[in-house]
Amino acid sequence: MSSIASTQQLEEKLKNHFGFTSFRAGQKEVIEDVLKGEHTFVLMPTGGGKSLCYQLPALLKSGMALVISPLIALMKDQVDALLENGIKATYLNSSLSVDQLREREKQILKGEIKLLYVSPEKLLSEGFLGFLKRIDEEIRISFFVIDEAHCISEWGHDFRPEYRQMKQIREIFPHINCVALTATATHRVRQDIINQLHVQKPKVHIHSFHRHNLFYEVRQKTKNCFSEVLALIEEDTESSSIIYCQSRKSVESVSAKLNSYGIKSLPYHAGLDGKIREYNQEQFIKDNAQVMVATIAFGMGINKPDVRLVVHYDLPKNLEGYYQESGRAGRDGEKAKCILFFNYGDKAKIEHLIGQKTDTQEIQIAKKQLAQVISYAETPLCRTQNILSYFGEQTDKCGHCDNCLNPRPLTNQTLNAQKFLSCVARLSISFGLTHIVNILLGERTDKVKKYKHFELSTFGIGKDKDADFWKWLGRSLIQANALQETEDIYAVLKLNPLSAQILKGQQEFCIPERVILFKPKAPEENKISGGLDEFSEGLFQRLRKLRKQLADKAMVPPYIIFSDLALKAMAVSRPKTQRQFLNIPGVGEKKLKEFSEAFLSQIQSYCLEYDLD
C-alpha cells in the first residue's frame, strides 16, 4: 500500500486490526504526519491512545518500525497485545536468552516483523548499531519511535541517560524520521526532547490534558482515613484500585490492613526484591489482586486500562507527578475516581524534607512545586481547572469534581484582598508570595530587614490572621486572575488590571470559604458502575469470568483479550451472530476468529437461562 492512505482506508485498518470504529481526538492527524514521513512530536495525556499513533503507520509502511520504550516489564505486554491483534511485533531486551535473541534477530532480518520494541539499554549494547544498519539496508527501518520521550530530558521526572543514545542513532540514520510521544508536558521538557533528538521542523501535536472521565476530589485526611479508603474500595469490589503512599512502611501497613479486611491487595515499592515487584505487578495486571498499594515507584507506563480508583494517601510532592499517577485511572475512557487525602501535617513533612536540601536551586523548585500542590488541595474552585492550568491549559469548569458538585459558600474577602494587594503595590521591586506574607504578618526576617520593609505602612497589617490564611488568600488571588505570578523558579507577584480595580474598591473579591470539611455526595449518575441494568450486569460479570479464564490460559492480562468496555457492549447488545459480534468495539478480525465462539455461546446460554431475547 502507498504510504498516503485515505481516511476510509485508515478506518478500515483501524477496525480490522484493532477493532475500533473511530479514531480518538488527534490520532488521525498524527498518523497522517507519520505516514508522510514527518518528524512528529506528540503530547497526549496518559490513556489518550498514543500507541495507536505509531502502531497503525508501522503496519502501513514498508519495513519495520523501531520502538524505544523504557520498561522491560511492560514490553512483553505491549507485544502480546499486538500479537493478539494479529500484528507482527517482537522485542529485544536483557530478559531474553541468547537463543531467543538469535531466533528473533533472524525473524527480523527475514522482514517478518513490523514493530520492534527495544529497551534503552539495548541501544547501548554491543553490536546493536551494526544490527540496525543491517536491518535498514536489508529490509528498511520505517521510522523511530521514542515512547515516554520525556525520559530523554534531565528536566523531566524520569530521566534515563540511555535515551541520550538516540542522538548518535540520529546521526547514523539522518534519513529516518522520529516519532516522539509523551504525556509530560512542561514547555522546557518539550523543547529539550526536540533539541536532544536533533529533529528539524517537527510536526507538533499537542492535545488537551482534560480527561472528562476522571472525577477529582480532595478529602481532609483524618484518623479515619483508612476506613474511608476501605469504604471506597468496597463500593466496587470487582474493579482495580491503586493506593499511593509516600513511604515504604505505610505501603506495607496499608496493604496488610486491606488484606485483613478480606481485600486482596499487594505492596509495591523500591525496597522489594525485583522478582517480587514483578510478580506483584503481574498479579495486579491479571486481576488476581484487586488493589495495588504502592510508592511512586509503581506505574510508569502501566497499561492497565480498567483501574477505577486512584487514591493518594499522602500529599504528592508535585502536581506533575499527581497528574501522572492519578491519570492511571480510567485509561479506557470509562469513569474513574482520583482522590487525594490532605492535611497540613503532610505539608509540614514535605517542608521539613525541603529544609534538609542544600542546593538553593533545588530548594526553590521544590518549594514552588509544593505551593502548586497546596493550591490544588486548597482550591475552592474547579480542581480540573486548577490542574490543567498547571499545564498551561484553560478550560471551563469540569462540572463533576468535588468543588463543582458541592460549591462551598462564598465569603467576601475584599478587605483582606486589598490589604494583600496594597502590600504588593507598596514595593518598588517584585517579590514572591512568602515575603509578602511575612510583611503582612510583621515578621522581621532577614529579607525584611535587608530591604527595610518594616518601614512600610503595610508592615504587620495582617497580624489578625495566620500565614496559612494569607498564603491561601494570595493563591486564591492568583487563581482568580486578580494577581499575576511570574513563571520562573523565583516566581514573583505583580499587579494587573483586576488587582487595581479591587484596590480602588471598584470590584469585590468573593471566593468560596477556605476550610476543607466535605465529603461530597456524588449524584447518582456519577456512580462508576456505568448504568447497566440487572441482567446486563449479571451477564457482564459472567463475561468477565470467561475473559479471565481465557486470559489465564493464554498467559496474558485479561484486558488484552477484551476491555471492560467491550464486555459491557456485549452484555448490553447481546450479539447472536459473528456479524453482530464484529460490531462490538475492540473486536477486529483476529479476535473475531479467536474468541467469538466462546463469548457468543456464553451470551446465548445466559439468555436462555434468564429467558432474555
User: Residues interacting with Mg ion, by CB under 5 A?
Assistant: 50
DSSP letters of 474-540?
HHHHHHTTSSEE-SSSS--EE--HHHHHHHTTSS--EEE-----------GGG-TT----HHHHHHH
Q: Which is nearer to ligand ADP, 81 or 166 (CB)?
A: 81
Identify what 404 binds: Zn ion, Mg ion, ligand ADP, none; CB under 5 to 8 Å per kind. Answer: Zn ion
Q: Does 50 bind ligand ADP (CB under 6 A)?
A: yes
The distance of closest approach from Cβ of residue 44 to ligand ADP in the complex, given in angstroms and rounded to an integer, is: 5
Residue 154, helix vs strand vs coil: coil
Instruction: For Mg ion, give the closer residue by CB, 18 or 540.
Output: 18
Out of Zn ion, Mg ion, ligand ADP, none, what residue 384 binds, judged by CB under 5 to 8 A for its kind, is: Zn ion
Residue 331 near ligand ADP by CB under 6 A: yes
What span, in angstroms and rounded, lies between the C-alpha atoms of 549 and 7? 37
Phi, psi of 64, deg, nearest 5: -130, 135
Asked if 52 touches ligand ADP (CB under 6 A), the answer is yes
Is 48 near ligand ADP (CB under 6 A)? yes
Site membership for ligand ADP, residue 20 (CB under 6 A):
yes
**Cα(58)–Cα(40) distance, integer angstroms:** 14
Beta strands at 493-494 and 115-118: parallel, antiparallel or unpaired: unpaired
| C-alpha to C-alpha distances, 243 to 222, 257, 309, 384, 564, nearest whole angstrom | 16, 13, 8, 20, 21
Report the alpha-carbon distance of residue 452 to residue 472 in Å, rounded: 25
Binder of residue 46, out of Mg ion, ligand ADP, Zn ion, none (CB less than 5 to 8 A by kind)? ligand ADP
Nearest distance from residue 321's CB to Zn ion, in Å? 21
Q: Of 29 and 252, which CB lies nearer to Mg ion in the complex structure?
A: 29
> By beta-carbon distance, which residue lies closest to Mg ion?
50
Nearest distance in Å: CB 397, Zn ion: 5
Binding at 310: pick from Zn ion, Mg ion, ligand ADP, none (beta carbon under 5-8 Å per type): none
Nearest distance, CB of residue 380 and Zn ion, angstroms: 11
Determine contact, residues 64/142, Cβ cutoff 8 Å: yes
Q: Is residue 326 a contact point for ligand ADP (CB under 6 A)?
A: no
* Of the residues 31, 92, 289, 382, which one makes contact with Zn ion according to CB under 5 A: 382
CB contact at 8 A, 296 and 70: no
From the list Mg ion, ligand ADP, Zn ion, none, pick the one residue 49 interacts with, judged by a Cβ distance below 5 to 8 Å according to partner type.
ligand ADP
State in angstroms the smallest separation of the CB of 355 from ligand ADP.
36
- The residue (of 304 and 475) whose beta carbon lies closer to ligand ADP is 304
> Closest CB to ligand ADP among 144 and 431?
144
Tell me, residue by residue from 164 to 203, as one string, x for binding to ligand ADP by CB under 6 A and - for no binding.
----------------------------------------
For cell 468543588, the residue is 403
Measure the CA–CA gap between 585 and 14, rounded to whole angstroms: 11
> Measured between alpha carbons, how far is 332 from 542 in angstroms, rounded to an integer?
20
Place of cell 479508603: 229
**The entry of Mg ion, ligand ADP, Zn ion, none that residue 52 binds, CB within 5 to 8 Å by partner kind:** ligand ADP
Q: Per CB under 6 A, does 332 bind ligand ADP?
A: yes
CA-to-CA distance for 575 and 540, rounded, in angstroms? 13
**C-beta closer to Zn ion: residue 283 or 406:** 406
3-state helix, strand, coil in the chain (%, to 5): 50, 10, 40
Listing from the earlier edge strand, what are the strands of the sheet with 89-92? Answer: 89-92, 115-118, 64-68, 141-146, 178-182, 40-43, 203-206
For the chain, the residue count is 613
Nearer to ligand ADP, 299 or 462 (CB): 299
At residue 357, the 3 state secondary structure works out as coil
Question: Do residues 378 and 371 touch, judged by C-beta distance below 8 A?
Answer: no
- Interface with ligand ADP by CB under 6 A: which range of 19-27, 57-65, 95-103, 465-473? 19-27
Would you call 96 exposed, middle or buried from its count of C-beta atoms within 10 A (0-12, 13-18, 19+)? Answer: middle
Q: How far is the CB of 53 from ligand ADP (least distance, A)?
A: 8
Residue 20 contacts which entry, ligand ADP, Mg ion, Zn ion, none (Cβ below 5-8 A, type-dependent) = ligand ADP
Is the CB of residue 586 less than 8 Å from the CB of residue 599?
no
Q: Which of 40, 379, 384, 563 binds Zn ion (CB under 5 A)?
A: 384
Binder to ligand ADP among 10, 30, 34, 44 (CB under 6 A)?
Answer: 44
Question: Among 474, 470, 471, which Cα is nearest to 482's?
Answer: 474
Residue among 24, 357, 408, 590 that touches ligand ADP (CB under 6 A) = 24
* Contacted entry of Zn ion, ligand ADP, Mg ion, none for residue 473, CB cut-off 5 to 8 Å set by kind: none
Quote the least distance from Cβ 327 to ligand ADP, whole Å: 8
Work out the burial of residue 4: count CB atoms within 10 Å of its CB; fewer than 13 is exposed, 13-18 middle, 19 or more buried.
exposed
386 binds, among ligand ADP, Mg ion, Zn ion, none (CB under 5 to 8 A by kind): none
Residue 494 contacts residue 483 (beta carbons within 8 Å): yes
Smallest separation, CB 183 to ligand ADP (Å):
6
In the bound state with ligand ADP, the residue whose beta carbon lies nearer, of 115 and 483, is: 115
Residue 401 binds which one of ligand ADP, Mg ion, Zn ion, none, with CB within 5 to 8 A depending on kind? Answer: Zn ion
Instruction: Identify whether the C-beta of residue 511 lies closer than 8 Å to the C-beta of residue 480.
Output: yes
Signed CA dihedral, 33, 34, 38, 40: sign only: positive
Closest separation between CB of residue 398 and ligand ADP, Å?
20
Q: Which residues bind ligand ADP (CB under 6 A)?
A: 20, 23-24, 27, 44, 46-52, 303, 305, 331-332, 563
Residues that bind Zn ion (CB under 5 A): 382, 384, 397-398, 401, 404
